[in-house]
């Protein structure tokens, strides 16, 4: 610790990275709300946010201003310290976990590279239950109390399955360091099939990934496991008595947890920032996929802007398209081309997991609470233990 403070350049760089990551995360959380509403709307044959800016792109700003200036009543009889602390605790823990995530091979793309990063990350995320449980208890109301109790039981139960599901990955990698877990997944089968933990010997972690992702959905209180905030039974569950920006903090903490578990799924099972394509030989063209994707988005956005229904949209969308085209041109530069490969593939995989989250919400009904608990204890936990046993045996056999 003394060495850290004796090197001003180290902590100045760390502060800069924290500020940049916070700005990007808060923007991502705002637009993840917009993305979810848009996707669910299209699943249900609706438009979704459309009026506040072109395609509703300014809807997150409108929502933020509404939460900021909305009346913020405090119910009588609440434990004020815990009542106000709970949303801050939920939000702070959700954001702290992002600091452990490496978004690319460059040290600039990670805030804290800890040797036991996976353990630290699980330790932080496991504390998230306190924000929800304390918020329900401190509200001094029956419905939030039931939501908090449900949350405590659900999150503790599925935390066991989720933690056990990644033990197979740790056994195969031999480390808790997130960067080393990714580097252990380098290489390709037959030159084309990536050696990600989902597919890699000695025991592909298909079962571990299934248990992990289902447990992660339950851990983040998302459909079909959103029992702590089941509005059909509990009004709004643990956050019934919260309004204004305190409610928004619970809302953003849920989205931040979605991003964290999606990042972890990418790191542990899908090769992190590693490309699914071998960039050697005839496959060298795959290096230009990020540039091509940005350029294609720019063209589509420009065409859509020219025929948009409002004058504001016909101005803003082409400007955004030109910005994307400029970004695509920058990404094509030799020095930048190599740097963007890791973040591009990492964020693309995380985006696909987030899309699956939203897809589930628009597709599946909510479980009953007894079904939820039975599913966790009677199916997922035994499967995770079986995955640990089989992986241990295969690692032992392979080491001889």
Least confident of 54-63, 265-274, 363-372: 363-372
Asked whether residue 149 is domain-assigned, the answer is yes
> DSSP code of 107?
G
DSSP string, 158-200: HHHHHHHHTHHHHHHH----HHHHHHTT--EETTTEE--TTT-
Asked whether residue 350 is domain-assigned, the answer is no
Do 95 and 120 fall within a single domain?
Answer: yes
Do 6 and 26 fall within a single domain?
Answer: yes
Instruction: Write out pLDDT tens, residues 326-335.
Output: 999 999 998 8
Q: How confident is the model at residue 6 (pLDDT cuts 50, 70, 90)?
A: low
Residues 212 and 118: their CA atoms lie apart, in Å, by 14
Do 77 and 51 fall within a single domain?
Answer: no
Do 1 and 131 fall within a single domain?
Answer: no
Q: How confident is the model at residue 7 (pLDDT cuts 50, 70, 90)?
A: low
Q: Strand (E) positions, 301-370?
A: none
| pLDDT score for 3 | 55
Do 252 and 115 fall within a single domain?
Answer: yes
Mean pLDDT on 26-50: 93
> DSSP code of 110?
-
Using alpha carbons, select from 309, 298, 306, 301 the residue that is nearest to residue 50: 309
Do 169 and 126 fall within a single domain?
Answer: yes
Instruction: Write out pLDDT tens, residues 207-235.
Output: 999 999 999 999 888 888 887 777 677 77
> DSSP code of 376?
I
The total number of structural domains that make up the chain: 2
Name the domain boundary from 59, 78, 105: 59
Do 42 and 191 fall within a single domain?
Answer: no
Asked whether residue 400 is domain-assigned, the answer is yes
Token pair belonging to 52: 């506040």
Residues 224 and 366: their CA atoms lie apart, in Å, by 4
Asked whether residue 361 is domain-assigned, the answer is no
Asked whether residue 295 is domain-assigned, the answer is no
For the chain, counts of helices (H) and of strands (E)? 17, 2
Do 225 and 262 fall within a single domain?
Answer: yes
pTM for the model: 0.93
| pLDDT score for 305 | 94
392 has a pLDDT exceeding 60: yes
Residues 366 and 346: their CA atoms lie apart, in Å, by 30
* Cα dist from 247 to 49, 88, 283, whole Å: 20, 10, 49
Residues 136 and 129: their CA atoms lie apart, in Å, by 11
Asked whether residue 318 is domain-assigned, the answer is no
Total Cβ atoms within 10 A of residue 21: 18
Q: Which residue has the higher pLDDT, 368 or 302?
A: 302
Instruction: Write out pLDDT tens, residues 275-291.
Output: 999 877 778 899 999 99
Contacts of 25 (CB under 8 A, 6+ apart): 95, 98, 256, 259
Domain span holding position 44: 1-59
**Buried b / exposed e along 361-392 (16+ C-beta atoms within 10 A):** beeeebbebeebbebbeeebbebbbebbeebe
Do 141 and 193 fall within a single domain?
Answer: yes
Token pair belonging to 140: 């001094």
Residues 152 and 133: their CA atoms lie apart, in Å, by 6
Which residues is 194 bridged to in the sheet? 188
Asked whether residue 347 is domain-assigned, the answer is no
Residues 213 and 272: their CA atoms lie apart, in Å, by 16
Instruction: Write out pLDDT tens, residues 116-171.
Output: 989 999 999 888 888 888 888 898 888 888 888 888 888 888 999 999 999 999 99
33 has a pLDDT exceeding 80: yes
Name the domain boundary from 37, 59, 81: 59
3-state SS assignment for residue 321:
helix
Residues 276 and 184: their CA atoms lie apart, in Å, by 15
Token pair belonging to 383: 């499967």
Asked whether residue 32 is domain-assigned, the answer is yes
Do 2 and 109 fall within a single domain?
Answer: no
Do 84 and 229 fall within a single domain?
Answer: yes
Mean pLDDT on 61-85: 88
Do 225 and 117 fall within a single domain?
Answer: yes
């Amino acid at each position: 610790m003394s060495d850290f403070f004796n090197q001003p350049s180290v902590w100045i760089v760390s502060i800069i990275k924290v500020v940049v990551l916070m700005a990007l995360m808060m923007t991502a959380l705002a637009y993840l709300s917009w993305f979810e509403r848009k996707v669910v709307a299209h699943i249900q044959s609706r438009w979704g946010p459309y009026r506040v800016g072109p395609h509703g792109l300014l809807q997150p700003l409108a929502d933020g201003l509404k939460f900021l200036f909305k009346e913020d009543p405090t119910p009588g009889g609440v434990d004020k310290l815990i009542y106000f602390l709970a949303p801050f605790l939920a939000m702070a823990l959700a954001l702290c976990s992002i600091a452990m995530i490496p978004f690319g091979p460059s040290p600039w793309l990670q805030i804290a590279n800890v040797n036991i990063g996976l353990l630290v990350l699980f330790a932080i995320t496991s504390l998230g239950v306190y924000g929800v449980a304390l918020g329900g208890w401190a509200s001094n109301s029956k419905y939030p109390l039931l939501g908090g109790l449900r949350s405590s039981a659900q999150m503790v139960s599925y935390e066991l399955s989720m933690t056990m599901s990644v033990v197979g990955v740790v056994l195969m990698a031999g480390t808790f360091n997130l960067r080393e877990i990714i580097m252990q997944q380098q290489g390709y089968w037959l030159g084309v099939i990536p050696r990600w933990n989902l597919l890699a010997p000695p025991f592909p972690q298909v079962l571990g990934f299934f248990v992990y992702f289902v447990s992660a959905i339950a851990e983040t209180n998302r459909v079909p496991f959103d029992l702590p905030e089941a509005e059909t039974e509990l009004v709004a569950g643990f956050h019934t008595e919260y309004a204004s920006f305190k409610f928004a903090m619970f809302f953003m903490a849920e989205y931040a947890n979605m991003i964290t578990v999606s990042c972890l799924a990418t790191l542990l099972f899908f090769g992190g920032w590693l490309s699914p394509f071998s960039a050697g030989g005839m496959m060298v063209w795959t290096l230009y996929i990020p540039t091509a994707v940005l350029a294609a988005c720019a063209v589509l956005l420009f065409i859509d802007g020219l025929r948009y229904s409002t004058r504001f949209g016909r101005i803003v969308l082409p400007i955004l398209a030109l910005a994307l085209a400029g970004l695509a041109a920058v990404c094509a530069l030799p020095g930048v081309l190599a740097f963007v490969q890791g973040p591009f593939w990492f964020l693309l995989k995380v985006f696909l997991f987030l899309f699956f989250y939203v897809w589930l919400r628009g597709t599946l009904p909510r479980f009953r609470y007894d079904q939820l608990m039975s599913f966790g204890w009677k199916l997922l936990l035994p499967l995770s233990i079986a995955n640990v046993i089989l992986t241990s045996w295969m690692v032992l056999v392979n080491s001889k």
